[in-house]
Amino acid sequence: MADLFQDYPFGRAWDEMFSGPGVIRPAYESVHAALQTLSAADLKARADIMGRTFLDQGITFALGGVERPFPLDLIPRIVTAQEWKVVQTGVPQRVRALEAFLADCYGPGRIFQDGVVPRRLVTTSPHFHRQVAGMDGQDGARIVISGVDLIRDEHGAFRVLEDNVRVPSGVSYVLENRQAVSQVLSEAGGDQQIRSVAEYPGRLLAALRAVAPANISDPTVVVLTPGVYNSAYFEHTLLAREMGVELVEGRDLICRNNRVFVRTTAGEMPVHVIYRRLDDEFLDPMQFRLDSMLGSPGLINAARANNLTIANAVGNGIADDKLVYTYVPDIIRYYLNEEPILLNVDTYRMEDREHLEYALEHLAELVIKPVDGSGGKGIVIGSQADASTLSRARQAILENPRGWIAQREIALSTVPTLIGDKMRPRHVDLRPFAVNDGNSVWVLPGGLTRVALPEGELVVNSSQGGGSKDTWVLAAPDEPISAPIELQAQAPGQAILPTTEEDDVDPDGQEQGQGFIPWQESPAQSTGAFFFDPPVSPDDGGEGLRHQQGQQQQEHATC
Amino acid sequence: MLSRIAESLYWLGRHVERADCTARILDTYLHLLPTGSWATDHQVIRSLVDSMGLSGDDEVEGADSGKLIRTLVFDTERASSVSGALIAARDNARGVRDALPLDVWECLNVTWHGLRSRAATGGGPHTYLRWVSERCAIAAGLTDQVMSHDEGWHFLAVGRALERADMTIRLIAAADSQTGSVPPWRALVSACGGWEPYVREHGGSIGQRTAIEFALLDRKFPRSVLRCLTAAEASLAELEAAGSMQQRDPRRDPSSARRIVGRTRTGLDYRTGTELSSDLPNLLSNLQRTVASAHVAVSNSFFRRGDEVTWANIGSEGVLA
């Protein structure tokens, strides 16, 4: 049988399976052994079965209106217990520091007075929302869900690429990838103890209940989705289903007297915690974008009155700002009095004169990023850019130094990936997901490994040929594979009596008239012309709604 | 249960049933009629065309049978064609993924993916319609066997029962027309999917009275109008009970739909076959109205959306006045 790993090339990057030609790292031995028994055709057939399953189950993302299965490479990415320790301690440290930073920014602003971070940095961020200044009801639990993007540099050390503490997406793929790989490549695990990822929904629900407003003993949690046209819609349904809570859209919610209700078949039921999967700007048309069709007017006031918890909190975007990112090591030292466990990538601030001069001189060796970009938008990789792109980047930086950072180009670590009928190294990153219940931060042992499928590609993105891998975190000998979660007992939900209005329902709804009545059509349908007036549901905004629904997500790009 | 989800489940039930019924009707009548003889002047086809809002449409009026089949079966743009109903069912299911078992969703999604490839294989309408019937049967079976028979399931069941009653009533009203070598009443019973039960019950000879009695009043055949209304009434009673356990919105009347259906069902229940023929057209239009009113009542009492939020200071363009 032809060796899948024949002519496997080695470059500058750290390869996670091989420490040198033919030298396999111990963690990967069982995977490598399992692959030796398979031909490329076998692997291809298994990958096809998996793709088919994803398509049938609707585990897809929408690209240009076409649903595609999320490309998953069968070869898992393995992190040893030793290596994981850094992530497991480093990510919570970062989350705790950013929590303190956010509470401070929207509160007293001590860090500005002490001169660690300039106030200008925060107030010029497009994600700084004065609407939530002074709201401290959610301090310590503003970042319930976070996805800190990590990469491994040329020496195999984890470094933070960016923080995502608004609406990080991708956890559904962590759960689905594990299931898919265990179904089609079950032999690869060998006798290794792989830590379970299945407890995530339970942990998330427990955390969401824990951060509910203080005066609620049995909180109702809902997941708020932009709608079916959002590319992460599958993830929203999965989380709601696995947590056993309702998946609501903005039109299901209603705010009255600073309390939030959801419309049900039996009237209006109170809601206490919203895990929202849409951006701040669309959440509350009363406070932000007036034209938002996705949110519900009044949510912010309900949160301000401590009747509602919004997870993640509004205004978290300032901590995601890539210019703030450059200050995070200082932020950790300032609030926690600790040294950062996870290092940043070396970054240059374009506002700093010396940094700017250096960066403009060495533009062709650096990576230029917009500070508020996501999904790989606007990133210029100096070594791969032509002269005109570089001069445009230079121009853009000079026009708006606050809008850009420059980073050293890192050769991201590689993992073997099936390309055609051969294994080839491809660059990967890692998004570990962390859940914060206000007291402690729990890191899901696993995370989303994204892989850039084109050769040498450093930007990892679904629309640019990105795929993913199952991520195995190995258990240390004394470590449990999964820990039991304690959930509060859930009492049956209680409704309060809605306000009374005149009974305007015709008791029998009998319609008069002779002869046959045309077929009734569903109001929710967008297909085609109907016999009688096309019944459009009152809040169906058509194209505009689709467009808004499509925008909401914190996409994942790496470079 | 969220109103939006209840509504989607209700429509899911209706759309799957519509696809199933339309497929069976077309499959039956396509076989019976010699090629070319059936066109828009045939009553049953006419009724289908009417209900799709195509009467008077130049595209369809006087169209050849091939074109008509394309419109009634394969047209993905119309929610009343076989393909269109399945697409609509899948769209509804997609919006309530968290309320549906994975198996049911997967079934509808696989069907949706299969629509295009199946239509393109050129196996002809019969193969396609058989396939649709199978897929609908799988969906219905999974719904009954895998899904918990909770509030959501009852909404789905109400939608299914109302749609099935509606289709059967339409069929009876249009059935008295030429069907070539086969008696029209046999075609009616076959299109309801009940030829074999009918033969067992009434023997091989078929007449108008027994055929209509079977389609309307049979107590054992699950597609008779009586059985459909009984099923709808039972599910509506469950929904009413589920609603009354919680504190209700006084603006809604959860028993209105059950009253409408129950009244008509009782009228049908205590009728004999001989009484049918005297006033059939009137009875059928009454039944049709019952289905339509029940739909309105269900929508009003369970799916009602709240009053629109309007802004005092915003003009109709959504900008500050």
Pairing outcome for strands A23-24 and A18-20 = antiparallel
Residues with Cβ within 8 Å of residue B303, at least 6 apart in sequence: A265, B3, B4, B6, B7, B10
The CA distance from A513 to A37, in Å, is 74
Residues with Cβ within 8 Å of residue A55, at least 6 apart in sequence: A67, A69, B113
Q: Strand, helix or coil at A366?
A: strand
Q: Which of A265, A268, A499, A536 to mutate to test the interface with B (most CBs of B within 10 A)?
A: A265
A68 has pLDDT over 80 = no
**How many C-beta atoms lie closer than 10 Å to residue A292's C-beta?**
21
Mean pLDDT, to the nearest integer, of A254-269? 88
CB contact under 8 A, A240 and B98: yes
A515 has pLDDT over 50 = no
| A508 vs B95, B155, B297: nearest CB | B297
Mean pLDDT, to the nearest integer, of B293-300? 91
A522 has pLDDT over 80 = no
**Mind giving me the DSSP string for B280-295?**
HHHHHHHHHHHHHHHH
Residue B285's closest CA among A434, A432, A513?
Answer: A513
pLDDT on residue A498? 38
Higher-scoring residue by pLDDT: A332, A540: A332
Q: Model confidence over A415-445: pLDDT tens digits? A: 999 888 888 999 999 999 999 999 999 999 9
Q: For residue A222, give the H/E element and its range.
A: strand A221-224
Q: Model confidence over A182-192: pLDDT tens digits? A: 888 888 877 88
Unique residue bearing structure tokens 């999967």? A277
CA torsion sign for A259, A264, A268, A271 is negative
Residues with Cβ within 8 Å of residue B216, at least 6 apart in sequence: B168, B172, B224, B225, B226, B268, B276
Cα distances (Å, whole numbers) of residue A504 to A1, B44, B237, B247, B304 = 76, 39, 22, 18, 11
Length of chain A: 559
Is the Cβ–Cβ distance between A511 and B306 less than 8 Å? no
| A291 vs B94, B98, B318: nearest CB | B318
Residue A369, both tokens: 């990023």
Tell me how close the Cα of B195 comes to any Cα of chain A, in angstroms.
Answer: 26
Unique residue bearing structure tokens 């960016």? A162
Q: Is the bond into A257 cis (omega within 30 degrees of 0)?
A: no
Residue A235's closest CA among A449, A482, A62?
Answer: A62
Is the Cβ–Cβ distance between A381 and A409 less than 8 Å? yes
CA torsion sign for A312, A331, A161, A157 is negative
- Residue B304 gets which letter from DSSP? P
The CA distance from A86 to A547, in Å, is 40
Q: Model confidence over B177-229: pLDDT tens digits? A: 666 667 778 888 888 888 899 988 888 788 888 899 999 999 999 999 999 99
Tell me how close the Cα of B198 comes to any Cα of chain A, in angstroms.
Answer: 27
B137 CB within 8 Å of a chain A CB = no
Higher-scoring residue by pLDDT: A308, A383: A308
pLDDT on residue A512? 41
| A522 vs B92, B151, B306: nearest CB | B92
pLDDT on residue A53? 85
Least confident of A103-107, A164-168, A487-491, B186-190: A487-491
HEC states along A417-475? Answer: EEECCEEEEEEEEEECEEEECCCCEEECCCCEEEEECCCCCCCCCHHHCEEEEEEEEEC
Unique residue bearing structure tokens 């030429």? B178
One-letter amino acid at A450 equals: R
Q: Return the residue of B nearest to A244 by Cα.
A: B98
Task: State chain A's mean pLDDT as an integer.
Answer: 82
Is the Cβ–Cβ distance between A17 and A25 less than 8 Å? yes
Q: Model confidence over A107-120: pLDDT tens digits? A: 999 999 999 999 99
Q: Return the residue of B nearest to A501 by Cα.
A: B251
The CA distance from A258 to A263, in Å, is 16
| B53 vs A514, A525, A531: nearest CB | A531
Q: Between vectors from CA A359 to CA A357 and to CA A365, what angle results, nearest 5°? A: 145
Q: pLDDT-derived band of residue B300, with 50, 70 and 90 as boundaries?
A: confident
| A517 vs B247, B292, B302: nearest CB | B292
Is the Cβ–Cβ distance between A408 and A367 less than 8 Å? yes
**Mind giving me the DSSP string for B229-252?**
HHHHHHHHHHHHHHHHHSPPPTT-
Residue B232's closest CA among B146, B147, B133, B166?
Answer: B166
Q: Strand, helix or coil at A194?
A: strand
pLDDT on residue B177? 65
Q: Which of A246, A522, A537 to mutate to test the interface with B (most CBs of B within 10 A)?
A: A522
Residue B305's closest CA among A403, A64, A250?
Answer: A250
**In this structure, what are the phi and psi dihedrals at residue A223, rounded to the nearest 5 degrees?**
-105, 130
B163 has pLDDT over 90 = yes
* Contact residues, B window 72-91, toward A, CB-based 8 Å cutoff: 76-80, 84, 87-88, 91
Size of the A and B interface in Cβ pairs below 8 Å: 191
Q: pLDDT-derived band of residue A552, with 50, 70 and 90 as boundaries?
A: low
Q: What share of chain B is helix, strand, coil (3-state, %, to 5)?
A: 70, 0, 30
The CA distance from B138 to B141, in Å, is 5
Residues with Cβ within 8 Å of residue B178, at least 6 apart in sequence: B42, B184
Is the Cβ–Cβ distance between B151 and B4 less than 8 Å? no
Q: pLDDT-derived band of residue A538, with 50, 70 and 90 as boundaries?
A: very low
Q: What percent of chain A has pLDDT over 90?
A: 40
One-letter amino acid at A268 equals: E
Q: Which of B138, B249, B295 to mutate to test the interface with A (most CBs of A within 10 A)?
A: B249
Q: Strand, helix or coil at A168?
A: strand
B235 CB within 8 Å of a chain A CB = no
Q: Model confidence over A281-317: pLDDT tens digits? A: 899 888 888 888 888 889 999 999 999 999 999 999 9
Q: What percent of chain B has pLDDT over 90?
A: 40
Higher-scoring residue by pLDDT: A521, A130: A130
ipTM: 0.76
CB contact under 8 A, B305 and A251: yes
pLDDT on residue B52? 64
Mean pLDDT, to the nearest integer, of B59-79? 76
Residue B262, both tokens: 């129950």
CB contact under 8 A, B8 and A524: yes
